[in-house]
Amino acid sequence: MYSPQLVAELAIVDFDVHHDNRTQEVFEKDGRVLYISTHQWPFWPGTGRAEDIGVGNLLNIPLLAGMEGMTYRKTFAEQAIPTLHKHKPQLILASAGFDGHRDDPLADLKLVEQDYQWIGGQLVQIADQHCDGKVISFLEGGNNLKALAASTVSYLKPFI
């Protein structure tokens, strides 16, 4: 169960293709926790509108079906990265979903392995600058096992 006493300045970066409505619900009133979600919109579960900002600690970035990697990177760089720098987290938790891969049969984003490596690299840079390199990543999913394996390896390369 969530305990406010245990949380310092925390950033949760969720790049799964689905919005995590439960994570948002748990933290939407705790300004010490920044929650950033990139997710295909509209898509299940139908939450994560850009207007959902909590107490100013939520950044929902809805993505249109068909979005390719360079557009994703530009969007992430313009919205998520400055928000992370402003928050100055002491720890980053990454909900690392690889179901936005172009070969995933259940979603319609067009990311590739290099895009996931770029995301990992961005998180490493921010963590090195603000939280002594502390990033914990949780595997969220992917429905094409070859794409999932290759994307996971690519994402982890900047951490090595």
* Spans of all domains in the chain: 7-159
Write down the pLDDT at residue 5.
Answer: 54
Q: Which residue has the tokens 């600690």?
A: 57
Cα separation values, 40 from 3, 10, 82, 90, 131, Å: 30, 24, 21, 28, 29
Asked if 157 contacts 117 with a C-beta cutoff of 8 angstroms, the reply is yes
Q: pLDDT tens digit string along 59-115? A: 999 999 999 999 999 999 999 999 999 999 999 999 999 999 999 999 999 999 999
Q: Which residue has the tokens 């999932």?
A: 148
Domain 7-159 CATH superfamily = Histone deacetylase domain (3.40.800.20)
Q: pLDDT tens digit string along 10-67? A: 999 999 999 999 999 999 999 999 999 999 998 888 899 999 999 999 999 999 999 9
Give the tokens for residue 71.
Answer: 């557009």
